[in-house]
């Protein structure tokens, strides 16, 4: 991006030593700005629906907001609203929400797709679930629900009992589509929705030109489980917490933190330090489990190998799960966090838990060497991964890529460090980045992150061991029912195993959220797949998909 150069030269508008100067930003927008709202961690700038592109472009180019993290759509009694949550890759604590109200009779607003490529899918989702239409959008159709669906389920007057008709058109006659059409030399194939390489139920509409991918379009929504609707039906205090475990279901526990962080900031709840250490430790163990699985399944994709590496990876994941089971009582759906702390302390006898976890950590370096021998230094593996699935950093930013995918493209962005929470700032660890931008770099990042997680867990264990017995507070005092002030809005994010997992909550004064929006990292990362695979071999498409490490539960929510 040529635009980046002047940014280095002159300071971005609105940046001061202690955060953002919203007045300066408001001045930058000038007349386009209709109003300013107070959100909990940031401000909302209200703009007219036909000024969206101008406003966003100014903010991106002159104020440096290069990360469109999420687009939230919602319906009020008298209007629709789209909110663009903007951030900076350099400093994610610099946040700004751009609020676009549209009337109820004619919910049309300008698309932000020209400014941020990532807005494409986000706006399609907004259209699908809430019913706002975006002008100039290249491809305004449903994304999560079937195309023949009637109504917009997160709108106010949706009738959930009305019948629906869903077609099986795409696969109606697979053979006919499999053969080359007479007048072209390309071939259309469906990868998925039931396919061993898609890691769940993803459907890739792929057009091949010989061995090469001419065009690929991910078709998602085969696991759209209405998580947002269900969270809106649940009370803050206890009922929502089980759901996050089911978003990214390979590294479950970290997701709970996203909800915990959002709700705790919203309701102003403190978390005792001891609980923060427990949270940090368990989250990192869970991250390790997720990365082991990513490694194993990636080896499966690349070598098609079910015996050695896959089993090794599962052996290690099994141990991490075991430890987490000792701590939380469940192998996968831990439900361990509570607002204001965690549910219980380490299992008794504590020594046994420490010993078991330490054993796991002690064995790890040797195991990682083994992985490097078998995977990363393997020639076949390198041929498959080096320089395939290239994602340039500026493209990654356009698509809002985060997590190991962004860090494998050299983007130094990790919310654990950049937007600190939990006990991370107190501990000694590094953010891993690799400059390769290819499949290989992403695998390396994950493997090194396992080492970093091990470091964090180790330090947490030391802390927990020495923690005085009478100061082991697990939860702070939290009211039995939580009712945040009406119309408070918050967007906050954490770093889960796949990247930036953000939650937007708007309260309406009751004990349930009025709008609950999930920003999932896999959703944005998957969106970059066509950029990475067009023109490459079809086999590399599979490798690229594997190295993105998407989890459909999180993509579709």
Partner 1 sequence: MSSNDKTTDTLSTQDARMGQGADDRFNSPLREAFGSTPFILTKFDKFMNWVRGSSMFMLQFGIACCSIEMIHTYAIKHDLDRFGAGVPRSSPRQADVMIVPGTIVSKFAPRMKRVYDQMPEPKFVVGMGSCTISGGPFQEGYNVIKGAEEVIPVDIHVPGCPPRPEALIYGVAKLQERVANGESAPVTVKPYEMEQFGDLEQDEIVQKLADQIDEDDLVMRYNWTDSP
Using CA atoms, how far apart are residues 371 and 404, in angstroms rounded to an integer? 18
Least gap, CB of 154 to partner 1 (angstroms): 9
In the complex with partner 1, which residue's Cβ is closer, 321 or 492? 321
Residues 120-159 that bind partner 1 (CB under 8 A): 145-150, 153, 158
Q: At its nearest, how many Å lie between partner 1 and the CB of residue 482?
A: 21
Single residue of 5, 16, 17, 163 touching partner 1 by CB under 8 A: 163
Q: How far is the CB of 252 from partner 1 (least distance, A)?
A: 8
Site for partner 1 in 408-437 (CB under 8 A): none
Q: Stretches 25-33, 130-138, 310-318, 360-368: which one binds partner 1 (CB under 8 A)?
A: 310-318
The 3-state secondary structure of 203-251 reads EEEEEEECCEEEEEEEECCCCCCCHHHHHHCCCCCCCCCCCHHHCCCCC
Distance in angstroms (rounded) separating the CA atoms of residues 26 and 92: 19
Query: Toward partner 1, which CB reaches closer, 214 or 332?
Result: 332
At its nearest, how many Å lie between partner 1 and the CB of residue 221? Answer: 5
Return the residues of window 224-243 that contact partner 1 according to CB under 8 A. 224-227, 229-230, 233, 242-243
CB of 157 to partner 1, least distance (A): 13
Q: Which of 393, 357, 371, 381 is nearest to 448 (CA)?
A: 371
The pairing of strands 133-135 and 513-519 is: unpaired
Nearer to partner 1, 153 or 393 (CB): 153
By C-alpha distance, which of 339, 319, 314 is closest to 331? 319
CB of 250 or CB of 276, closer to partner 1: 250
User: 86 near 65, Cβ under 8 Å?
Assistant: yes
Name 503's bridge partners.
492, 518
Contact assessment for residue 525 and residue 401, using Cβ atoms and an 8 Å cutoff: yes
Tally Cβ neighbours within 10 Å of residue 175. 6
Asked if 380 touches partner 1 (CB under 8 A), the answer is no
Among the listed ranges 161-169, 178-186, 378-386, 423-431, the one in contact with partner 1 (CB under 8 A) is 161-169
> Which residues lie closer than 8 Å to 313 by C-beta, 6 or more apart?
292, 293, 295, 296, 299, 371
553 binds partner 1 (CB under 8 A): yes
Q: Give the residue among 502, 296, 499, 286 at the shortest CA–CA distance from 407.
A: 499
CA dist 204 and 23 (Å) reads: 46
Q: Between 150 and 184, name the residue whose CB sits nearer to partner 1.
A: 150
Task: Supply the DSSP string of 9-54, one letter for each residue.
Answer: HSPPTTEETTEE-HHHHHHHHGGGEEEEEE-SSSEEEEE-GGGHHH
Nearer to partner 1, 156 or 194 (CB): 194
The only residue of 323, 432, 552, 555 in contact with partner 1, by rule CB under 8 A: 552
Q: Is 13 in the site for partner 1 (CB under 8 A)?
A: no
**Residue among 278 and 555 whose Cβ is closer to partner 1:** 555
Does residue 372 belong to the site contacting partner 1 (CB under 8 A)? no
Would you count residue 293 as binding partner 1 (CB under 8 A)? yes
* Torsional sign, CA 195, 197, 198, 204: negative
Q: Which stretch binds partner 1 (CB under 8 A): 99-107, 246-254, 271-279, 418-426?
A: 246-254
Closest to partner 1 by CB, 99 vs 550, is 550
Q: The dihedral of CA 57, 86, 425, 427: what is its sign?
A: negative
- Please give the size of the binding site for partner 1, defined by CB under 8 A: 56
In terms of CB distance, is 226 or 514 closer to partner 1?
A: 226
Candidates 14, 64, 218, 221: give the one binding partner 1 (CB under 8 A). 221
Tell which positions 180-219 bind partner 1, by CB under 8 A: 193-196, 199-201
Q: What angle do CA 177, 128, 126 make, to 5 degrees?
A: 130
Binding mask 383-412 for partner 1 (x = CB under 8 A): ------------------------------
Interface residue with partner 1, options 17, 18, 30, 172 (CB under 8 A): 172
Q: How far apart are CA 102 and CA 86, in angstroms?
A: 20
CB nearer to partner 1: give 229 or 376.
229
Minimal distance in Å, beta carbon 70 to partner 1? 21
Nearer to partner 1, 12 or 227 (CB): 227
Q: Where are the beta strands (DSSP E) in 48-90?
A: 67-75, 79-87
HSE of 15, CA atoms in CB hemisphere, 13 A: 18
Alpha helices in 389-536 (DSSP H): 393-398, 403-407, 415-418, 439-466, 521-527, 529-533
Instruction: Confirm or reject binding of residue 363 to partner 1 (CB under 8 A).
Output: no
d(CA 384, CA 401): 23
* Smallest gap from residue 151 Cβ to partner 1 (A): 9
Within 315-344, the residues that bind partner 1 by CB under 8 A are 315, 317-318, 321, 331-333
- Between CA 435 and CA 409 the distance in angstroms is 5
Check residue 164 for interaction with partner 1 (CB under 8 A).
yes
Question: What is the closest distance, in whole angstroms, from the C-beta atom of residue 254 to partner 1 in the complex?
Answer: 15
In the bound state with partner 1, the residue whose beta carbon lies nearer, of 46 and 231, is 231
Q: Is 234 exposed, middle or buried (0-12, 13-18, 19+ CB in 10 A)?
A: middle
Residues within the interface to partner 1 (CB under 8 A): 145-150, 153, 158, 160-169, 171-172, 193-196, 199-201, 221-227, 229-230, 233, 242-243, 246, 249-250, 293, 310-312, 314-315, 317-318, 321, 331-333, 552-553
């Amino acid at each position: 991006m040529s635009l980046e150069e002047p940014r280095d030269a002159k300071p971005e508008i609105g940046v001061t030593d202690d955060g953002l100067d919203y007045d300066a930003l408001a001045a930058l927008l000038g007349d386009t700005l209709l109003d300013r709202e107070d959100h909990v961690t940031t401000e909302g700038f209200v703009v007219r629906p036909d000024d969206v592109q101008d406003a966003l472009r100014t903010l991106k180019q002159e104020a440096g907001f290069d990360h469109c993290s999420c687009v939230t759509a919602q319906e009020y009694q008298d209007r629709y609203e789209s909110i663009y949550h903007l951030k900076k890759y350099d400093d994610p604590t610099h946040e700004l929400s751009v609020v676009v109200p549209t009337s109820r009779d004619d919910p049309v607003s300008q698309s932000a797709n020209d400014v941020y490529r990532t807005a494409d899918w986000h706006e399609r989702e907004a259209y699908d679930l809430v019913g706002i239409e975006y002008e100039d959008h290249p491809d305004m159709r449903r994304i999560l629900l079937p195309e023949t669906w009637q109504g917009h389920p997160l709108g106010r007057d949706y009738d959930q009992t009305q019948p629906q008709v869903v077609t099986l058109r795409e696969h109606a006659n697979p053979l006919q589509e499999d053969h080359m059409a007479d007048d072209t030399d390309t071939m259309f194939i469906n990868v998925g929705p039931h396919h061993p390489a898609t890691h769940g139920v993803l459907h890739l509409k792929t057009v091949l030109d010989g061995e090469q991918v001419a065009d690929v379009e991910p078709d998602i929504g085969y696991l759209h489980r209405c998580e947002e609707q269900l969270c809106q039906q649940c009370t803050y205090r206890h009922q929502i917490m089980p759901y996050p475990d089911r978003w990214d279901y390979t590294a479950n526990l970290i997701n709970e933190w996203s909800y915990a962080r959002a709700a705790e900031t919203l309701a102003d709840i403190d978390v005792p330090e001891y609980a923060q250490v427990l949270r940090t430790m368990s989250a990192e163990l869970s991250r390790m489990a997720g990365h082991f699985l990513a490694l194993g399944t990636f080896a499966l994709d690349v070598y098609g190998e079910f015996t050695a590496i896959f089993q090794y990876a599962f052996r290690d994941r099994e141990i991490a799960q075991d430890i987490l089971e000792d701590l939380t009582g469940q192998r996968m759906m831990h439900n361990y966090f509570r607002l204001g702390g965690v549910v219980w302390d380490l299992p008794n006898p504590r020594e046994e838990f420490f010993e078991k976890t330490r054993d796991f950590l002690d064995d790890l370096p040797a195991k990682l060497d083994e992985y490097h021998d078998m995977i990363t230094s393997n020639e076949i593996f390198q041929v498959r991964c080096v320089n395939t699935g290239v994602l340039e950093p500026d493209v990654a930013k356009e698509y809002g890529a985060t997590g190991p995918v962004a860090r494998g493209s050299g983007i130094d962005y990790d919310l654990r460090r950049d937007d600190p929470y939990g006990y991370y700032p107190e501990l000694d660890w590094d953010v891993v980045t690799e400059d390769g931008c290819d499949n290989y770099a992403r695998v390396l990042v994950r493997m090194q992150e396992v080492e970093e997680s091990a470091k964090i867990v180790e330090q947490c264990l030391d802390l927990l061991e020495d923690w005085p017995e009478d100061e082991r507070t697990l939860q702070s005092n939290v009211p039995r029912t939580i009712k945040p002030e009406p119309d408070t809005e918050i967007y906050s994010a954490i770093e889960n195993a796949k990247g930036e997992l953000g939650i937007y909550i708007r309260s309406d004064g009751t004990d349930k959220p009025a709008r609950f929006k999930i920003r999932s990292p896999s959703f944005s990362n998957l969106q970059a797949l066509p950029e990475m695979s067009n023109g490459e071999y079809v086999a590399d498409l599979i490798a690229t998909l594997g190295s993105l490490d998407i989890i459909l539960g999180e993509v579709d929510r």
